[in-house]
């Protein structure tokens, strides 16, 4: 069952499949956009956003139970986290390999039981649009207009580029929400 994405104030169980093989992260979060972006710098390329889901839950406990319901039957599919996943993101025991077919069936079963199942990409698109007004101040802090105030660290500019590339990957032109100097830098 799908509906207009509910962005804030809800808990979700999530299924984030990788784009490069039948490898998947299963978990729960109140902020799936924050969660997926914490896992990998280029999350919008690393994960297959067209084949992931969010299952809306009534509470944190419900979301945790849904995660366990999705992950529990897949004990034989458990796998270590990919090496490129940021270790500080945690969740290293919540990865499975070769489980896409049973996960599709399990998520469909949750929808049949009345849970709201959101396709991942449209939900992320809606969440990014809702937060787009934050881009102006955040991007200006990352890349100050005055050269003398800019950070000497390339990783800060890389993080800014990744964030703006994520918007474009989801079909959102970030330029209307950027200061002119950041839009010019982005190209």
- Domain residue spans of the chain: 11-126, 133-186
CA separation for the pair 58, 137 (Å, rounded): 33
Of 28, 24, 33, 20, nearest to 80 (Cα)?
Answer: 24
Contact of 152 with 31, CB cutoff 8 Å: no
Of 91, 93, 61, 78, nearest to 23 (Cα)?
Answer: 78
pLDDT tens figures, 39-70:
999 999 999 999 999 999 999 999 999 999 99
Of 106, 86, 104, 92, nearest to 40 (Cα)?
Answer: 86
Q: Which pLDDT score, from 0 to 100, does residue 2 have?
A: 44
Q: Which pLDDT score, from 0 to 100, does residue 51 have?
A: 97
Q: Helices in 55-134 by DSSP H: which ranges?
A: 60-71, 100-112, 120-131
Sequential DSSP letters for 98-113: S-HHHHHHHHHHHHHT
Going from the C-alpha of 52 to that of each of 173, 183, 185, the distances in angstroms are: 23, 31, 32
Going from the C-alpha of 74 to that of each of 25, 157, 182, the distances in angstroms are: 12, 39, 45
With a CB cutoff of 8 Å and minimum separation 6, the contacts of 157 are 142, 143, 151
Backbone angles phi, psi at 152, to 5 degrees: -85, 5
With a CB cutoff of 8 Å and minimum separation 6, the contacts of 80 are 92, 95
Low-confidence ranges of the chain (pLDDT < 70): 1-9, 148-152
Q: Is the dihedral of CA 49, 86, 82, 110 positive or negative?
A: negative
Q: Which pLDDT score, from 0 to 100, does residue 144 have?
A: 86
């Amino acid at each position: 069952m799908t509906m207009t994405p509910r962005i804030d104030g809800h808990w979700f169980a999530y299924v984030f499949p990788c784009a490069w093989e039948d490898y998947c992260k299963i978990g729960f979060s109140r902020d799936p956009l924050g969660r997926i972006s914490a896992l990998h710098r280029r999350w919008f390329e690393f994960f297959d956003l067209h084949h992931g889901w969010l299952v809306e839950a009534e509470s944190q406990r419900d979301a945790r139970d849904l995660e366990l319901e999705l992950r529990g039957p897949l004990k034989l599919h458990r796998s270590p986290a990919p090496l490129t996943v940021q270790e500080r993101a945690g969740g290293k025991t919540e990865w499975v390999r070769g489980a896409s077919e049973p996960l599709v069936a399990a998520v469909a079963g949750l929808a049949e039981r009345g849970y709201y199942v959101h396709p991942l990409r449209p939900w992320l698109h809606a969440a990014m649009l809702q937060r787009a007004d934050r881009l102006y101040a955040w991007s200006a802090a990352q890349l100050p207009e005055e050269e003398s105030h800019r950070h000497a660290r390339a990783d800060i500019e890389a993080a800014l580029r990744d964030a703006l590339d994520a918007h474009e990957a989801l079909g959102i032109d970030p330029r209307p929400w950027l200061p002119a100097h950041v839009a010019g830098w982005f190209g």
